[in-house]
Amino acid sequence: MAEGSSSAPLPVRLLVAIALSAALGPLNSTMVAVALPEMARTLPADSGALRQALVTSYLLTNIVLQSPGGKLGDRLGHRKALGLGQLLLAAGAALAYLWPVLPALTAARIVMAAGGAIMAPSAMALLRTELPPEVRGRAFGAFGAVMGIAAGTGPTVGAQLVAHFGWTSIFLVNVPVLLVSAALAHAGTSPPQAGAVVGPALPAPRRPRFDLLGSVLLGASLVGLVLGLEHTHLRWAAALGVLGFVPFVLWERRAADPVIDFSLFRLRAFVGGSLIIALQNFAMYATIFELPQVAGRLFAVGPRDVGNTLLTLMGTMVVVSLVAGRASDSFGPRAVTLSGCVLALSGMALLATRPLGAMTDAIPALVMLGAGMGLSSAPSQAAAMGDVPREKSGMAAGLTSTMRYVGGVAGLTVLGLVLTDRPENEVVMQEHVTAMTVFCVALVLTIGCAFLLPRRTAASASAAHAR
């Protein structure tokens, strides 16, 4: 499909395939959490060891391979890369189901994460390359809604699967979803029929080489950084990770086909949108983890009550994401994103200043926070990808995905530095206010980043002229 060809039909099958594939990443991240206690009863390992083997390994692999996975899509083609990611995720899921012992499960989770790390940037790149500009905002809004629904329903889906079919079923469920997604993704991509008239042969475009050394240097730096941020006794690893970025940058500046092209950071919209993604994930994921801990120390509430309260955040975010995409197509990404950033900051400020006498007291603030993030997420992602050259779409998508994960890990690190185990209510509330204040600062920064986004796209300019 030619870029900007608004008269061409939308590839509905491909969009459904992208949605199904994209949903499996957050679904697999959250389903396994509810299965860990049952796994600990049948495997020779406690929940802590299982968390390190199955959750941390999954997270690290995702962080390390997002950017290389995006670059691989630019090299192979984004549909082929999506298919490769689907194959890897299906293979890992089948291995976990058929061989449910800890070493095999760890290897399977790493393979699944590798597949997801290739699929995620390929999916975003396909939205950028296959859709005309005037509908990209809506597409990214639907994409964000699907991701939110998958993350929010993951624990419920996982609990039902474990209860009725055993914990291995959380892996097997991936296979039929991937088969349907793969069939839809490649439907309608048949080769030319025999005897068809074709034009003169054109030289094939040069395929970018895969930057293996750059990928290794980036991966080593990110692993050190993440491990050092997550574990206080590994702060030296974080220092080595930061230092490791020096040879990575030096190599990338001279590499013919780098895994990260630093010229992307000359694009205002890409920088602004990517920073908004990172900063909002810094605040949101830490808040999701912080509130249950605070509630457990302040109130006698169970996991179900906390989960129901947090659903107001995710539910509002999902619903508003669908509206935000259409609004961005009509009014431009800057105005919609800026409104969302201000609303999210207001919700976080309310969360920091309103006394918590019960868990339900957080609901108004969570609704505002979810609405603000839902309003700003889709326009900022669409704007970040909008000015990226087509041939670098996978690389750009991988980089934004990496920033999303790193932002989430950084937020959890700040949370670990702030929270203690002291039971006094005054101490608990002071720690809560401190954490929320830090997250408010992050959301203030998103407001500044919103001004880097374009006022209008071609689509929103047309809509404004029509009005």
* pLDDT reported for residue 301: 62
- Give tens-digit pLDDT for 287-324: 877 887 777 777 766 656 766 777 788 888 888 888 88
The most distant pair of C-alpha atoms in the chain lies apart, rounded to whole Å, by: 81
- CA 390 to each of CA 150, 274, 387: distance values in angstroms, whole numbers, following the listed order: 28, 17, 9
> Hey, how many other C-beta atoms are within 10 angstroms of the C-beta on 444?
15
- Spatial contact of 170 and 158, defined as CB atoms under 8 Å apart: yes
CA distance 370 to 386: 24
The structure tokens 């999954």 sit at 58
Q: What is the average pLDDT score of the chain?
A: 81
Of the candidates 88, 81, 177, the one whose C-alpha atom is nearest the C-alpha of residue 122 is 81
Class of domain 260-467: mainly alpha
Higher pLDDT, 279 or 149: 279
Q: What confidence category does residue 445 fall into, taking pLDDT thresholds of 50, 70 and 90?
A: very high
Q: pLDDT tens digits, residue range 81-128?
A: 888 999 999 999 999 999 988 889 999 999 998 998 898 888 888 888
User: What angle do helix axes 235-254 and 212-230 make, rounded to 10 degrees?
Assistant: 160
| 308: enclosing H helix or E strand | helix 303-331
Q: What CATH number labels 10-187?
A: 1.20.1250.20
Q: Is 389 exposed, middle or buried, given 0-12, 13-18 or 19+ CB atoms closer than 10 A?
A: middle
